[in-house]
Amino acid sequence: MGINGKTLLYGIIGNPVSHSLSPAMHNAAFTASGMDAVYLPFPAEEIASAVTGIRGLGIRGASVTIPHKESVMDFLDAIDPVAEKIGAVNTVLNKNGILTGLNTDWLGATRALENAIPLNGTKVVLLGAGGSARAIGFGLLERGANSILCSRTESRGRLLADDLGCSWVSLKETETLSGDILINATSVGMVPGIDNSPVPRNILSRFQVVMDIVYAPMKTKLLSEAEIEGCTLISGLEMLLYQGGAQFEIWTGRTAPVAIMRDALSRALSQQKTSDTNNDRN
């Protein structure tokens, strides 16, 4: 990668960002597309100064991750209508100094799902009531799916269910549910809690497709059990891939090289896992 005075700058803003897989994915996409561009991680505790940095340095585009997806909206010039509905921004486009906030999390989820099943008219059980569940829920709404929201905290869950125009059920009552698609939009099953699943295995045979937004590990306990029950699996890496592909297209106007981005993500995740294992031994 030859970085020079003409190299276009992109990056991810959040705290922490040191383990983000996005640099590997986007830099592979830039290289494959023959672009003189680089994507870097920018740890930022304070979002206002980070947005000032985007403006001042002429950063062409930025991914925004936790904890800034909501607070960044106060410092941008324009917000895409879907991101406004979701109440969160994960993508910033800098076009001639005008900063626009968008959300590609919902696109990532719906594109990953649509590779496995048509969404219009499907019945979806969505686990969680946080930012990811909110983005996915609005994406499902856009695609004509019928959702049931399940969460541990009733007050937060009912608020999101009302916004989505769907029903709410306690996570304790998932054994009563069935549908076409089950989506885990919680952090249950993520490293280090890899022996945990958000739902009991005996309900998984009631679903055709099971998706988990967790990508570390790539095959969570939920997905492993769903595989045994004969479900079609969608890993969190697919959502990360397609939301990143949508970002690339927003920033560049080019078609994202999805296959190359997927390979880069898989390699980066494997390297990260190897590095973490070696660190644990030291």
Active site residues: 69
Query: Of 198, 81, 199, whose CA–CA distance to 138 is shortest?
Result: 81
Give alpha helix (H) positions in the chain. 22-32, 47-57, 81-86, 105-114, 131-142, 154-164, 221-228, 236-252, 258-281
Pairing between strand 8-14 and 37-43?
parallel
Cβ contacts of residue 108 below 8 Å, gap of 6+? Answer: 238, 239, 240, 241, 242, 243, 244, 245, 246
Pairing between strand 232-234 and 209-212?
parallel
Cα gap 224→235, rounded to integer Å: 11
- Cβ atoms within 10 Å of 225's Cβ, excluding its own: 18
Cα gap 217→270, rounded to integer Å: 10
Cα gap 164→95, rounded to integer Å: 32
* Bridge partner residues of 148 (DSSP): 125, 167
In the chain, what is the straight-line distance between the N-terminal and C-terminal CA atoms, in Å?
32
